[in-house]
Amino acid sequence: MKAITINVSEPIYRDFQEHARVCDRTTSELIREAMELYRNERIRPRRSLRALQPLVLGEVKRVWSPDDDLFAEMLDG
C-alpha cells in the first residue's frame, strides 16, 4: 500500500473521524473506501450490459431455423 499525504478541510476530516468512531473503523479505512468508490464511479466506471446501445450490423441474411441452434449439439458433445 502506498502512503500519501493529502490536505482536507477540518470539517470534512472531523466528519470522517466521527463516522469512523461510530462504525468502529479507522479514518484511513474510510478514506481508502471513499477513494475506491470515487475511482469506480468516476475514473473507471463499470458499464452495465443493459446500458449498452444495440449495434446495427446490417440486414438479416436469413431467419434462423430451429436446426441452427447448436445448444443440443454442445450438450451431446
Name the residue with cell 470522517: 16
Domain assignment present for residue 28? The answer is yes
Confirm whether 55 is domain-assigned: no
Full residue range of the structural domain in which residue 35 is found: 1-47
Q: Is the pTM of this model over 0.95?
A: no
Residue 53 lies in a domain: no
How far is it between the farthest Cα atoms of the chain?
A: 69
Q: Residue 21: inside a domain, yes or no?
A: yes
pLDDT of 42 reads 94
Each residue of 14-39: pLDDT tens digit? 999 999 999 999 999 999 999 999 99
Helix axes 10-23, 27-38, angle to 10 degrees: 110
CA distance 65 to 34: 52
Question: Is 17 domain-assigned?
Answer: yes
pLDDT tier at 57, thresholds 50, 70, 90: confident
* Residue 40 belongs to a domain: yes
Please give the tally of structural domains in the chain.
1
Closest to 30 measured CA to CA, from 17, 43, 12, 42: 17
Residue 12 sits in a domain whose CATH number is: 1.10.1220
